[in-house]
Amino acid sequence: MNGAQALIRTLVGAGVDVCFANPGTSEMQFVAALDTVPSMRAILALFEGVATGAADGYARVAGRPAATLLHLGPGLGNGLANLHNARRAHSPVVNLVGDHATYHKKYDAPLESDIEAVAASLGWVRRSDSPAEVGADAARTVAAAQEPPGGVATLILPADVAWGDGGRAASPVPARVPRQVPETAVKSVAAILRTGEPTALLIGGAACQERGLRAVNRIATATGLKPFMETFPARIQRGAGLPAVERLAYHAEHVAYQLEGTTHVIVAGTKPPVSFFAYPGRASDLVPAGAQVHILAELGGDVVAALESLADEVAPGTLPVLQQARRSPLPRGPLTPRNWVEVIGALLPDGAIVSDESVTSGLLLPAATAGAPRHDVLPLTGGAIGQGLPVAVGAAVAAPDRPVIALQADGSAIYTISALWTMARENLDVTTILLNNRSYAILRTELQRVGAGRSGPKADELLDLSRPDLDFTKIAEGMGVPATRARTAEELAGQFSRAVAEPGPHLIEVILE
């Protein structure tokens, strides 16, 4: 058995049986070894950012890591933005980066670069030194990725470690479970709630799924506490039959409004609220002045169990209030940022997974889909745009029986547009709603917010995506995905219904007025 075979067998043994790959020469032995381990599925991406974003999306839905396969330092570079998002999502990702043979590195061949330095910016890194060790290294990498709350763990695989003989598959290293939250922390928060003082609860991570939401809603119902989700959780469960919890807003002034009058901020499974960006004259720390912060559960702690304990403590007999089923009525006429979301709200299929990178076009989405059938939302976590389509790929691989809906802004779509090709190759059931407003709309707002005043023609040019207009139907068809264009709500409704009903990928370009 060579090193590559030992590596792949170890991964499969540890439950990692999907690999999103964009290989090169130094990874050819890994590629060849795939045919010797039938249960490893390899999926080709045409750009590394698609592979890394797909691994993130897969982890968010499957709850366990996929592997990537990247080609040396430049491949890692191309994958870095979506690995950053995965890091912020606390998604477990086994990030495999091929490298030159061990003895070749000293020659500083053209593709040589400092892979460790770049990978270390993401978290845990190991370089495998020999075929005999690569199995054990892989088992440690899988465990590192799953170390609560989850993260990116990189294994650097030199070519000769892959092709050398003497490989040994290793048994899985048991992954640690989330740390139990001490009963004292629960009691202490319960005492605060019993004072009746105005209190907000900010939840994140696993708390944004059903069990956590039910506990939070019981607590809020019984005590009057105001619950919020962190602005960008990795995965939100919502819709009819689940308790609805508002997300903290993106802009600092809206957060100030949400938290106004609060004297206690309880934080569970996330960090205290901070502004996404700094703006002149505005605070970065969004905890209201004078309010006290209390940590119920740190990142990596068992936030769901802590919330359930708290609910049993302060709301023993209380049942959660569940969102009623309620569909938006279908709107009519030309599509705008206000009405396209209502089409989605009216027609979202049951059990959908929504990869949401709709950015400014999606501001009204949460309201429009609140009463839709139960669904999962996978938001942009780290602010590195170009996440939406790759995450949709990974989600569809993880949940082949569920419809995946990618809500995708135009500007950010381009970074990883070849995700469409992978959707076509794998016949993934992804419906992409491409929101074309022909601009970096968010930056028009941000230009004002940083105090830059009125923009001149050169600044305007850098925020404008027309001249020429991007034609996403042609781009999608060029990548093998059937595409249509909608300019009215009626057109979008018809096209969306058909796309969802038909297996395989579709793209609908929504031209926003």
Binding residues among 241-270 for its own copies as defined by CB under 8 A: none
Residues 301-320 that bind its own copies (CB under 8 A): none
Q: Which is nearer to its own copies, 136 or 470 (CB)?
A: 470
Residues 189-218 that bind its own copies (CB under 8 A): none
Amino acid at 186: V
Asked whether the beta carbons of 227 and 216 are under 8 A apart, the reply is yes
162 alpha-carbon distance from chain centroid: 31
Handedness of CA 36, 37, 41, 43 (dihedral sign): negative
66 binds its own copies (CB under 8 A): no
For its own copies, the binding residue among 84, 140, 226, 247 (CB under 8 A) is 84
Residues 143-182 that bind its own copies (CB under 8 A): 159-160, 163
106 alpha-carbon distance from chain centroid: 38
Q: Which is nearer to its own copies, 218 or 421 (CB)?
A: 421
Strands 375-379 and 236-238: antiparallel
If one counts every other C-beta atom within 10 angstroms of the C-beta of residue 469, the result is 11
Residues 344-383 that bind its own copies (CB under 8 A): 381-383
Q: Which is nearer to its own copies, 330 or 459 (CB)?
A: 459
Beta strands in 90-169 (DSSP E): 93-99, 124-127, 152-158
Sheet holding 353-357, edge to edge: 236-238, 375-379, 353-357, 404-409, 430-436, 506-511, 483-486
For its own copies, the binding residue among 17, 63, 101, 130 (CB under 8 A) is 101
111 binds its own copies (CB under 8 A): yes
Q: Which is nearer to its own copies, 186 or 483 (CB)?
A: 483
42 binds its own copies (CB under 8 A): yes
Minimum distance between the CB of residue 193 and its own copies, rounded to whole angstroms? 27
For its own copies, the binding residue among 174, 224, 400, 480 (CB under 8 A) is 480
- Look up residue 285 and give its two tokens: 């720390």
Q: What is the pattern of x (binds its own copies, CB under 8 A) and - over residues 3-22? A: ------------------x-
39 binds its own copies (CB under 8 A): no
Cα–Cα distance between 37 and 19 in angstroms, integer? Answer: 12
Minimum distance between the CB of residue 47 and its own copies, rounded to whole angstroms? 5
Distances (CA, A) of 339 to 35, 247, 254, 369: 49, 21, 22, 12
Minimum distance between the CB of residue 440 and its own copies, rounded to whole angstroms? 8
Structural element, H or E, at residue 458: helix 457-463
1 binds its own copies (CB under 8 A): no
Minimum distance between the CB of residue 112 and its own copies, rounded to whole angstroms? 9
Asked whether the beta carbons of 406 and 388 are under 8 A apart, the reply is yes
228 binds its own copies (CB under 8 A): no
Residues 412-471 that bind its own copies (CB under 8 A): 414-415, 417-418, 421, 424-425, 442-443, 446-447, 449-453, 455-459, 461-465, 467-471
Minimum distance between the CB of residue 164 and its own copies, rounded to whole angstroms? 9
Q: Which is nearer to its own copies, 186 or 249 (CB)?
A: 249
35 binds its own copies (CB under 8 A): yes
**86-124: b or e for each residue (b if 16 or more CB lie within 10 Å)?**
bbbbbbbbbbbbbbbebebeeeeeebeeebbebbeebbb
Q: Would you call 412 exposed, middle or buried from its count of C-beta atoms within 10 A (0-12, 13-18, 19+)?
A: buried
For its own copies, the binding residue among 17, 63, 74, 130 (CB under 8 A) is 74
- The C-alpha angle with vertex 137 and arms to 133 and 143, in degrees rounded to 5, equals 155
Residue with tokens 């979301």: 341
Residues 268-297 that bind its own copies (CB under 8 A): 271, 274-278, 280, 284-285
Span near its own copies by CB under 8 A; candidates 46-54, 59-67, 290-298, 355-363: 46-54
Minimum distance between the CB of residue 206 and its own copies, rounded to whole angstroms? 18
Contacts of 453 (CB under 8 A, 6+ apart): none
If one counts every other C-beta atom within 10 angstroms of the C-beta of residue 330, the result is 15
Q: Which is nearer to its own copies, 83 or 240 (CB)?
A: 83
Minimum distance between the CB of residue 95 and its own copies, rounded to whole angstroms? 13
Handedness of CA 209, 215, 218, 219 (dihedral sign): negative
Q: Which is nearer to its own copies, 34 or 397 (CB)?
A: 34
Cα–Cα distance between 169 and 4 in angstroms, integer? Answer: 10
Minimum distance between the CB of residue 219 and its own copies, rounded to whole angstroms? 26
Closest CA to 165 of 28, 302, 281, 5: 5
Q: Which is nearer to its own copies, 182 or 480 (CB)?
A: 480
- Binding residues for its own copies, how many (CB under 8 A)? 104
For its own copies, the binding residue among 10, 78, 146, 339 (CB under 8 A) is 78
Q: Which is nearer to its own copies, 84 or 238 (CB)?
A: 84
